[in-house]
Amino acid sequence: MRSLVFQCLLLFVATFTTTISGAPHRLSPIDPFLRDSKVGLATTDPLKDVEAFSTTKRSTTLTSSRKVMPLSHNGITSTLNGGVHRFYGESNPVGSMAESVKNKNIRGYFNSAQALADYAEVLLHIKKKLHAHNSPIIVVGGSYGGMLASWFRLKYPHIAVGALASSAPILYFDNITPQDGYYSIVTKDFKEASDNCYMTIKKSWDEIDRVASMPNGLSILSKKFNTCSQLKSSYELKDYLDSMYASAAQYNAPPSYPTTRICQGIDGASHATNILDRVAAGVVAYSPRSPCHNTTRAVGQTSIGWGWQTCSEIVIPIGITSNASMFPSQPYSFQEFIDECKAAYDVTPRVHWATTYYGGHDIKLVLRKFGSNIIFSNGLRDPYSSGGVLEDISNSIRAVYTTNGSHCLDILTSTKTDPEWLIEQRHEEVHIIRGWLRKYYHNLRLLKQ
């Protein structure tokens, strides 16, 4: 099974008020506790005990207070609060995530549909408390949170007027998206950074195996890659590198573009005749300040929880099949995944549930005349964009993507170094949302006269 990164900004919720005449009650600022509440991050690989928090720099950014929408730059008053997904963060029912996902009486409540229902309850409660019955709500989320945002709009149109779903791979279920999608984009990102870099990495896997099989091979590799402790298998190193490349591609954000950084390391060491010395230079370039490279995966609460979710309902089949891939072939097997989930949680994944409950097949045909007011935003350098909605479905279900963007980039706080195309993407999103709100208030006035 692939080790991959699936860090999430869980759902945030924005409620809007505008100052046009006849507009409803103005919302007061949201309780700072809510605003600062932890936003969960997760990874899709329960069985590898991936801890997303510690393995990438970007993920810590996502947990920090930077999780703010850029909307308020443009005159819409927005109030944000971090939505909290049941079981994640501090809302765990029995103390630890590990105990919760083992508990057969309660873990059944740990699913996306229940989380959406929680949001519905909370939002209605807030509206009531604030006497803000007519205030429109826009839900915003990234990654898994982006999926939740779009699903919330479809399931609860009476509560959310619209959704901004950033980097939401809602089509990465049930073979709608080819299993190779994710890693083919990782490969593309590295190829774009440098052909030589791509070829070096592609050739390195066999070389790692070759060296590992020599007497003292693992010691040689441990030394070459400056691992914090002696490698126990060649797999451990390959898994570490695989995660590093995937993270670099997923969070391939300006201004430093981690894939470019790795490739500069690799290409910069072209004097080294040994492939592995070049790859090691790429590792150093990716995390230059690490005194050593820790190839032991940490087990975090969030990854245990996400493991449960992927083994029960969020089954995203990611494999490697193309021979042009930078990675060795590793086709996805539903059967293997099912066996692993049975071993880990004694549960059989419902591989078709996501599309049964939320749809996804023939999405254009289905949503053209049914849904409205959803933005699917993506950056095409994000491997998850392969499972995203990249074409407009209708006038109000829009795809807004950037060629050089990465995972959740648009919903991070703006910075001085943001390139023009990112600023434009955000402007476009704000422009679309304003249109929804204008229409909403127009209808409100018509119908409430």
Ligand X SMILES: *[C@@H]1O[C@H](CO)[C@@H](O)[C@H](O)[C@H]1NC(C)=O
Sites of contact with ligand X (CB under 6 A): 228, 294, 296, 298, 323-324, 403-404, 421
Shortest Å, Cβ 297 to ligand X: 7
Toward ligand X, which CB reaches closer, 214 or 228?
228
Toward ligand X, which CB reaches closer, 356 or 415?
415
Shortest Å, Cβ 403 to ligand X: 5
Shortest Å, Cβ 308 to ligand X: 20
Task: Give yes or no for a contact between 1 and 48, defined as CB atoms under 8 angstroms apart.
Answer: yes
Shortest Å, Cβ 359 to ligand X: 32
Toward ligand X, which CB reaches closer, 145 or 405?
405
Q: Count of CB atoms within 10 A of residue 241's CB?
A: 24
Is 125 catalytic? The answer is no
Rounded to whole angstroms, the Cα distance separating 164 from 430 reads 10
Q: Residue 141 belongs to what H/E stretch?
A: strand 137-142
Task: Give yes or no for a contact between 86 and 11, defined as CB atoms under 8 angstroms apart.
Answer: no
Instruction: Give me the sheet containing 162-166, strands edge to edge.
Output: 77-82, 9-17, 137-142, 162-166, 374-379, 397-402
Rounded to whole angstroms, the Cα distance separating 443 from 446 reads 5
Backbone angles phi, psi at 138, to 5 degrees: -115, 125
121 to each of 90, 127, 136, 159, 413, how far by Cα in Å? Answer: 19, 10, 15, 10, 28
Q: 């989380």: which residue's tokens?
A: 115
Shortest Å, Cβ 39 to ligand X: 21
Q: Residue 162 belongs to what H/E stretch?
A: strand 162-166
- The β-bridge partners of 91 are none
Rounded to whole angstroms, the Cα distance separating 174 from 363 reads 13
Toward ligand X, which CB reaches closer, 127 or 191?
191
Residue 46 preceded by cis peptide, ω within 30: no
Toward ligand X, which CB reaches closer, 105 or 323?
323
Shortest Å, Cβ 421 to ligand X: 5
Shortest Å, Cβ 290 to ligand X: 9
Toward ligand X, which CB reaches closer, 324 or 365?
324
The residue number with the shortest CB distance to ligand X is 298
Is 346 catalytic? The answer is no
Task: Give yes or no for a contact between 247 and 406, defined as CB atoms under 8 angstroms apart.
Answer: no
Please tell me which residue in 100, 143, 247, 312 is annotated as part of the active site.
Answer: 143
Toward ligand X, which CB reaches closer, 401 or 440?
401
Shortest Å, Cβ 299 to ligand X: 8
* Short-list 364, 435, 379, 363, CA closest to 146: 379
Amino acid at the residue 368: R
Is 407 catalytic? The answer is yes
Toward ligand X, which CB reaches closer, 179 or 355?
179
Please tell me which residue in 382, 385, 406, 418 is annotated as part of the active site.
Answer: 382
Please tell me which residue in 100, 385, 386, 407 is annotated as part of the active site.
Answer: 407
- The β-bridge partners of 401 are 378
* Residue 320 DSSP label: B
Q: 339-346: list long-range contacts, CB under 8 Å, 24+ apart.
A: 340/1, 340/47, 340/311, 341/46, 341/311, 341/312, 344/46, 344/47, 344/307, 344/311, 345/46, 345/101, 345/102, 345/307, 345/308, 345/311, 345/312
Catalytic residues: 143, 382, 407
